[in-house]
Amino acid sequence: MKRTRTVICVAAILSVFMLLGGQPAGAHYTPASDNPTAASYPSAHNNPTAAHYTPAVYPSPPYPDKPKDIAITFTNDTLTEKSFTWVTSGTSNSHAFVVVWEADGGVQRLFSGSTETVTGRRDYYVAPTLFNSPDNVFRFKVNRVTVTGLKPNTGYRYICGDGAAENWSGEHYFDTAIESGGFSFIYMTDPQCAVNSQFELWKKCSERAYATFPDAKFIAIAGDLVDRGSSENLWDKFFYYGDTVLSNLTVVPAVGNHETDTGSHNFSKHFSFPQTSHGLPDYVYSFDFGNLHFMVLSTEKTYAQLTSKNESIRAEANGFLDAQINWMREEVSISQKKWNVVMLHKGIYSGGGYASSAETLFYRNKLAPVFDELSIDAVLQGHNHTFDRAYLYDGKSVSGVAAESLSAAKGRGTLYLTANSAGPKFYPQSNPKPTYLLKHSQPDTQLYTGVTVTDNYMKFDTYTVTDREDGSLFDTFTVYKQ
């Protein structure tokens, strides 16, 4: 029945599309043939250790306007809206449509959105003289649609495309936020992949997380989604290998240094964000879900910028951080939610190679007092590629919460958590363990965390990726609040 409803819907949309002047072809689509990361594509150009670069010849996909890199994200209204962003290799299409219907049946609804032609670079790992060459620079289309008028706490099916018969995506799933009651979400960090074998690790980690927490409402990723944000080829692979999760689960991404430290990047072209940060970049944002208020910060101003001898550079970098702090204060002051969680990339309390770097200490001195002031319940971190858990107030472990503790009663104190990596890179653990950490280790495998949120507690269950479908429990910690 679902297939029949889809065909009827597509036929109706095609009629609309043709009235708009479109010329949908009658060809049939073979999904594997349109994959820009398929084995038929050259792979040596994407190897960061390659001594020489030979410009790759990219064959044109048979249906260049078919959606890829699909991202489902929140809007300001998580109960009744959802945003969809996808990319097409072709640039000729001028229509973006999403069709939605309730997962257990119901009327199909058509929504239209916007398209934008964007310039990008295929690869980052090229000779400097080739980085901006015609072989590397290309144009692609970004498509965005916001779906409105949905029912809270409801599952939906969707397809997206430009209206041409051969350009519809596969049928996928999403659901809307709950108004009250318990729920779970997935947190992980730093996939940061560069080659196919590494993306296989990200694929396995994301799919294991989804299998362990099949009822998760969203997946939060604390930065460094790819190894180089200026490489569209890496973005294609991130979404392709993560498609099982990313095309069916709302994603909450934070920007990391590997998205921003390679110059021009299209991070914001791959996601649509809630517009909640009042003039800050769109990747600083917040949303409400049930009894949770979730805030995403950017820590991507470098220590060199924050302490630059050039007054304008230093003022701009510190002004950006101060504006986020003021925004965060405003967010918490008006939030009616019981739980407040912050996600950022550069962890301020962790182990590993960045544990006591000048940049880490700068951000710690700026942000930790604010987290104490606002009684932030948890800070989800990345960047350091180790497992770290701390429960702190004023930089010290809260009295009564020891290394062997599995829980804490919320009073003064914030949980700081770093879930190693969802990709190939792991850092050596600090020796000795930093005194502010309750637990610090390097399991030498990918980690993911399922966060269960109820009216009375938040539970953080961290798993290692194993050959078991549901992973292996690595750490657990619960924060209780009356």
Calculate mean pLDDT across residues 397-405.
92
Calculate mean pLDDT across residues 265-294.
94
Banded model confidence at residue 27, pLDDT cuts 50, 70, 90: very low
> Which residues are registered as beta bridge partners of 336?
none
With CA atoms as reference, report the closest residue to 72 among 109, 98, 101, 106. 98
> Which of 43-52, 171-180, 256-265, 394-403 shows the lowest mean pLDDT across its residues?
43-52
Banded model confidence at residue 261, pLDDT cuts 50, 70, 90: confident
Banded model confidence at residue 29, pLDDT cuts 50, 70, 90: very low
Calculate mean pLDDT across residues 133-158.
95
pLDDT at 17 over 90: no
Q: From CA 79, how far away is CA 279, in angstroms rounded?
A: 24
**Residues 129-138 pLDDT 10s:** 888 888 889 9
**Residues 69-95 pLDDT 10s:** 999 999 999 999 999 999 998 888 789
> Which of 29-33, 114-118, 396-400 shows the lowest mean pLDDT across its residues?
29-33
Helices (H) and strands (E) in the chain, counts: 8, 23
Q: From CA 255, how far away is CA 238, in angstroms rounded?
A: 14
Write down all domains in the chain, each with its CATH number in brackets. 2-20+62-175 (2.60.40.380), 183-480 (3.60.21.10)
**Residues 340-391 pLDDT 10s:** 999 999 999 999 889 999 999 999 999 999 999 999 999 999 999 999 999 9
**Residue for token digits 């002031």?**
373
pLDDT in the model for residue 467: 67
Q: What share of the chain is helix, strand, coil (3-state, %, to 5)?
A: 25, 30, 50
Collect all residues with Cβ–Cβ distance below 8 Å to 60 and sequence separation of at least 6.
Answer: 89
**Residues 175-227 pLDDT 10s:** 999 999 999 999 999 999 999 999 999 999 999 999 999 999 999 999 999 99
